[in-house]
Amino acid sequence: MPHYRAKEDHREMQPMSDCYEALAYQLTHSFSIPRKKITPSATLDDVGLDSLGVVELFLSLQEIWGIPLDEGQVTPSLTIAQTATLIEKQLTAARGDTAP
């Protein structure tokens, strides 16, 4: 069953991607970030990651998924949702799927 999170206006619910949930799990368990701070619109900086923390995050995600991720595309100013989307694109490219 998909996880649901309220959109910013709290009137409509939208499913969160598996990648988003995996990212949130990693931030919570490996970086001790409280789950309530992890929202789609929060930036990596908002949750307490500086540039070095972002690199550490991507290195851990590369290890988990076994695919290369370009740390150069990620900065502390990206939102959690933007970061999840970037990872999803990398996963799609690594699998050779065609993106819509």
What is the CATH architecture assignment of 4-95?
Orthogonal Bundle (1.10)
Which pLDDT tens digit goes with each residue over 57-79? 888 888 887 877 776 777 899 99
- In the prediction, which pLDDT does 69 show? 74
Residue 14 pLDDT > 50, yes or no? no
Pick the residue with more confidence: 2 or 48? 48
Predicted confidence (pLDDT) at residue 16 exceeds the cutoff of 70: no
pTM: 0.74
| Structure confidence by residue, pLDDT tens digits, 80-90 | 999 899 888 88
Nearest in space to 60 (alpha carbons), one of 46, 73, 71, 44: 71
5 CB neighbour count, 10 Å cutoff: 16
Residue 98 vs residues 14, 44, 94, 95: alpha-carbon distances, Å: 24, 28, 10, 9
The domain locations on the chain are: 4-95
- Asked whether the predicted pLDDT for residue 7 surpasses 80, the reply is no
Is 90 exceeded by the pLDDT of residue 44? Answer: yes
